[in-house]
């Protein structure tokens, strides 16, 4: 995984890319900005899966896994927002714009997940916390496709993928895909590795001190 991602990052800088006005070299950002969101989706999907499994059979291990995955997803979402903001500054001319639905809805999605952690911290009782957090998490994950796929596509936007266009269509140059798809794979793998470390840590801590939530 590490070698793969190293090659991807190197390749992302080195390969020849077609010239696109305004974007110029920042077209390479697609190799880093877009996989952040893909990694976030993968983490939130994992988190949701474990929340459903928790409701099926209330095993604290599932709750720990759901929480860890949501946490790692947040980190990648934060990376996505920050990189998007920097990219916007030099191509759209502003750090943040409220005329851009995808940007604002992505921030809203982050807020929904912030609420997940706030909700967790509001309970002292472990079973209650796990159960309510699981229910909320399933609600939170259902908003993600609407906030980041369905609604932005109905509105005009500076982002690719708006105004009824799919984001990855003939407008994405073929050369970019050679790195983009491996980059998505690499960063999703990185996210799973961080998640693995995270939930193992949480599990160990749970066995030492079950009362405390992070």
Partner 1 sequence: MQIDSTAVDTLTKAYSEVWAGQESVEEMNAIVAFMYSNDLIYVVLGVTLIIWSVLLFFMIRVDKKVASLEEKLNSEEP
Residues in touch with partner 1 (CB under 8 A) = 9, 13, 23-26, 28-29, 32-33, 36, 75, 78-79, 82-83, 86-87, 90-91, 194, 197-198, 201, 204-205, 208-209
Give the shortest CB-17-to-partner 1 separation in angstroms: 10
- Contact by Cβ (8 Å): 19, 176: no
Considering beta carbons, is residue 150 or 197 the nearer one to partner 1?
Answer: 197
Give the shortest CB-82-to-partner 1 separation in angstroms: 5
Q: Cα(39)–Cα(124) distance, rounded to whole angstroms?
A: 31
Give the shortest CB-14-to-partner 1 separation in angstroms: 12
- Contact by Cβ (8 Å): 203, 64: yes
Considering beta carbons, is residue 87 or 96 the nearer one to partner 1?
Answer: 87
Q: Cα(180)–Cα(161) distance, rounded to whole angstroms?
A: 16
Give the shortest CB-179-to-partner 1 separation in angstroms: 12
Considering beta carbons, is residue 26 or 61 the nearer one to partner 1?
Answer: 26
| DSSP label at residue 202 | H
Considering beta carbons, is residue 4 or 87 the nearer one to partner 1?
Answer: 87
| Residue 77 CA, distance from chain mean position | 4
DSSP of 36-84, one letter per residue?
A: HHHHHHHHHHHHHHHHHHHHHS--HHHHHHHHHHHHHHHHHHHHHHHHH
Considering beta carbons, is residue 123 or 193 the nearer one to partner 1?
Answer: 193
Task: Tell me the torsion sign for CA atoms 40, 123, 50, 135.
Answer: negative
Give the shortest CB-53-to-partner 1 separation in angstroms: 24
């Amino acid at each position: 995984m590490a070698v793969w991602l190293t090659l991807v990052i190197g390749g992302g800088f080195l390969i020849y890319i077609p010239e696109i006005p305004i974007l110029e070299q920042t077209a390479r950002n697609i190799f880093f900005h877009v996989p952040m969101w893909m990694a976030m989706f993968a983490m939130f999907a994992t988190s949701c899966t474990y929340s459903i499994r928790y409701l099926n059979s209330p095993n604290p291990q599932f709750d720990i896994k759901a929480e860890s995955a949501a946490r790692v997803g947040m980190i990648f979402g934060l990376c996505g927002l920050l990189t998007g903001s920097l990219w916007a500054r030099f191509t759209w001319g502003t750090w943040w714009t409220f005329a851009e639905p995808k940007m604002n809805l992505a921030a809203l999605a982050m807020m929904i997940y912030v609420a997940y952690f706030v909700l967790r911290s509001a309970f002292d009782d472990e079973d209650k916390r796990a159960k309510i957090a699981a229910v909320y998490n399933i609600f939170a994950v259902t908003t993600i496709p609407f906030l980041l796929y369905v609604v932005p596509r109905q509105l005009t936007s500076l982002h690719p993928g708006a105004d009824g266009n799919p984001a990855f269509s003939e407008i994405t140059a073929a050369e970019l895909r050679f790195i983009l798809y491996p980059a998505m794979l690499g960063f999703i793998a990185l996210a799973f590795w961080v998640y693995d470390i995270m939930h193992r840590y949480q599990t160990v801590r749970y066995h030492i001190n079950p009362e405390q939530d992070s």
